[in-house]
Structure 1
């Protein structure tokens, strides 16, 4: 077991990892930018090092400074959290070359799965369904036209690198295809330093279903069931729940088993998520693998009773998984709302600033994962998420009722948040019926 772990992240995920370390009897080392000097993860860690100015490029993305902090802190391992360097295979390699364990998959698996085109090819070999599309990357407009006409419009142009909806464009017919390809390439090059794209059939009004998996160094691979992440805005998830309200038991088994096959084929270890889209006929197709812990992991923890962060640490240290597939339950329903410092009445415009007063909700089945408190100033330099409100109840209707109650209790004064927007979504008949797809928010809430 490790003696000391550095968390190469900030905010609520850094605090989440520190808590897991403390319960495992492991010391924690935090890193922080000058803008985060007063953040909760800095206060609660056993040791903390400033690694640069506010901008991520000068702090949380500086591999050299993070490794220096790790060496000064004499750590055994680094937990990357999510975002920043979490899926950076080079950072993974540097950690290991410095004799510091990286709490995540091996660099080879991360690199393989980080490229969507390569991951798609691997999925085909593992007999995991993929969306019809190009056999590889698209090199010119003539090839794009040929593939699009072959699979039929509308088509989706996707960057092979990165995520978060960047480098993606929809072409409804041939007249806009070349422009869409060019725009996707330009955006992907700017965002990821890689402008390569490929083409898939555009699945209209899909549901977004992802399967949580974890694998140890001893050949054990299990899934922890699925999450429904269909409530999104511009490909950014807003509300997640487990299990999916729409999958039949047969489809649940099929999609979870496909996820396990994908992870085995990649020789993957540690926690990861296999993402799928599901069409109107309930057929599912592989999208990508997220080679890290995800923002929405708490809903899986609530329905299975398994602490995913602790398991990540134990697996990375060489421990075998303490459970088999048949030992993992899926009981009740969990829902998570991402509380962002944004103004939903102004197009979700980021709204950083000082929190004058905050009151976190409580009660049976309520969990609030956050690093903010009264007096905290939300900086403008990072992602706008300031907390995750999670509820758990025996049934979905009970979970919705508890979430609405908890949202009303949550008080954050001084800045705008998305809490009121979430309450509107939870009241919508389509959400209550479990009929949401990834276009639901734009269709029902955008004027």
Structure 2
């Protein structure tokens, strides 16, 4: 039987059917619509991360569970969120983005929906900690990294910033909404709202997202040549572990993982989980504290997109050192700013912290791309795992500290000191002499 000769690389674009050839420059590139779909998906995902901090007081009041016990469930959620990310990135290479993310959303809906029937604290750990943690981990920033790496050659820093800001946008939408629902209808109604959001977003993901530019006959944004879709990669778990083993042999990985662990400890673990109950300790209404946390999301959007723009132009190491240093300084002042009402210095902290919240993500991803090239999404998944382990530890230890000392002050000060350490660690990361395969040159 005669075999069809393989087309040379330079003629691959000509092999694309006429109705699916790369779009003309005068039209909006399909990559931007895929990024928009991913943005909406990540907004929905933010609702799942917004709820735990709001549940501490209601669950403590209804069941008498300690803050440490509730914090344990949150810490399991955060840890699994991180540990799942590198495997999810590998699974996306095997089964596609749409299938993995849609399955993750349905897992979240199952876990969150069943919490309304729980009567014991271990059920909170299993349902919210394990199921929601596994599902949300599959839609972590490794998802954003995979979309960016596949669909964009240029503007990767900017797009990373925009997709990272989706979490802040979701926080802005869901935090005030969920706090009002809890106040007027109870925590179960808020949990069902999150469940409904997951159920609604799942079919949208499957219909609107596309796994690769070749699926619609276009080249990645900014690429000069059409890129064929790679075959599915088998052995997802093996590949994720191998990528970790290769990366862990070098010092940059441990510096990136260490700084990002401190990032998670000082954001998701500390402020997102404990700011509302800490403010409530000082007499501030829960809805007011939740609204302040939501305002962080407003400035987080601006700060993260700006950080993506900066990352395309300036040294990621210096950006990280600046972000961590300023964050630590702001945390040192927080204990004296908390009170029973919203006042200008408190608003100033919220604005400042919001601009810095996840501004660390674009430069961290850029450094992963510089060092690890084609495996950068998986390696970043492991770096993200350290972020979530740091967050999990502080989510748990913060609750224990509050139960032990009667306040959160020791946690604020300790986190501020850790951020100063992260700033020094960022400066210790050396520029790679030659970019890894698949990496783009970075600004010096």
Bin for the TM-score computed over the shorter chain: under 0.3
Could you tell me the TM-score, scaled by structure 1's length?
0.26
Structure having greater relative contact order (Cα 8 Å, sep ≥ 6):
2
Which structure features the higher share of strand residues? 1
Could you tell me the TM-score, scaled by structure 2's length?
0.26
Which structure features the higher share of helix residues? 2
